[in-house]
Amino acid sequence: MRILFCILSLFVALNLSGKEINVTYPNCPFNLQLVVMKHKGLLEKEFAKDGIKIKFHDITNGVKQVKAAATGKVDICGSLNTTSIIVAAGQNIKLNIIRGVCNSTNTLALMTTNPNIKSVKDLKGKTIACVSKHNSHQVLLLALAKNNMTIKDVNYIPMSNAETYKAMFAGKVDVGILAATEVVNAKKRGARILTTAKGLMRTKLVVAVTKSFARKHPEWVGRYVKVQNEAMEFIKKHKHEALELAAKDLGISYQDAKWLYNNTKLINTLNKDDIMSLKDDIEFLFQQKLIPKKVNILSQGAAIDIIFENFVRDQISICAVSSRSILDVFKKSNDKCF
Q: Is 60 exceeded by the pLDDT of residue 332?
A: no
Cβ–Cβ under 8 Å, residues 303 and 208:
no
pLDDT, position 28? 84
72, burial (CB in 10 Å: exposed 0-12, middle 13-18, buried 19+): exposed
Q: How many Cβ atoms are within 10 Å of 276's Cβ, its own excluded?
A: 13
Mean pLDDT of 57-77: 95
Residue 64 has pLDDT above 70, yes or no: yes
Alpha-carbon torsion angle 211, 307, 46, 318, nearest 10: 60
Task: Examine the pLDDT at 303 and tell me if it is beyond 50.
Answer: no
Q: How confident is the model at residue 2 (pLDDT cuts 50, 70, 90)?
A: low
Identify the structural domains of the chain with CATH numbers, from first to last.
18-103+203-332 (3.40.190.10), 106-196 (3.40.190.10)
Q: Fill in the amino acid letter for 253.
A: S
Question: What is residue 58's predicted lDDT score, i.e. its pLDDT?
Answer: 95
Write the pLDDT tens digit of every residue in 203-253. Answer: 999 999 998 898 899 999 999 999 999 999 999 999 999 999 999 999 999
Q: Judge whether 165 and 182 are in contact, CB under 8 Å.
A: yes
Query: Quick one: pLDDT at residue 18?
Result: 53
Q: What is the DSSP string of 84-151?
A: HHHHHHHTT--EEEEEEEEE-GGGEEEEE--TT--SGGGGTT-EEEE-TTSHHHHHHHHHHHHTT--G
What CA–CA distances, in Å, run from 189 to 165, 197, 220?
11, 21, 44
* CA 158/CA 6 separation, integer angstroms: 57
Question: Strands of 192-196's sheet, edge to edge?
Answer: 155-158, 127-130, 175-179, 108-112, 192-196
Average predicted confidence (pLDDT) for the chain: 85
pLDDT at 145: 97
Chain-centre distance for alpha carbon 207? 6
3 state DSSP class of 157: strand
What is the DSSP pairing of strand 127-130 with strand 265-266? unpaired
Tell me, what amino acid is at 44? E
Give the least confident one: 76-80, 142-146, 256-260, 329-333.
329-333
Q: What is the mean pLDDT of residues 10-21?
A: 57
The pLDDT-based confidence of 12 (bands split at 50, 70, 90) is very low
pLDDT tier, 326 (very low <50, low <70, confident <90, very high otherwise)? very low
* Residue 272 confidence (pLDDT): 85
